[in-house]
């Protein structure tokens, strides 16, 4: 698979899987699932970091 497609895939996973979970943990039983909310937030952040990492690899390769 092309890097471009992987990046899109990660974005879609964030939107479809992780974001609903984050909302779920804040809306259902408010304040009861804050710790799980924090974990999903970190998963979301790490998926974003994965995209950044891939872009970074590309920009370094471009120069060297």
Q: Please give the residue ranges that form the binding site for another protein (CB under 8 A).
A: 30-31, 34-39, 41-42, 45-46, 48-49, 52-53, 55-56, 59-60, 63-64
- Contact predicate 6/53, CB 8 Å: no
The secondary structure of residue 39, as a DSSP letter, is H
Nearest to 7, CA basis, from 55, 46, 45, 43: 55
Q: How far is the CB of 47 from another protein (least distance, A)?
A: 10
Comparison of 8 and 48: residue with beta carbon closer to another protein = 48
Residue 2, classed as helix, strand or coil, is coil
Comparison of 1 and 60: residue with beta carbon closer to another protein = 60
């Amino acid at each position: 698979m092309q890097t471009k497609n992987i990046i899109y895939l990660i974005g879609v996973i964030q939107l479809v899987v992780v974001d609903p979970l984050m909302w779920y943990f804040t809306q259902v039983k408010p304040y009861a699932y804050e710790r799980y909310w924090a974990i999903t937030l970190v998963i979301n952040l790490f998926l974003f970091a994965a995209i950044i990492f891939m872009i970074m690899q590309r920009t370094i390769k471009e120069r060297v």
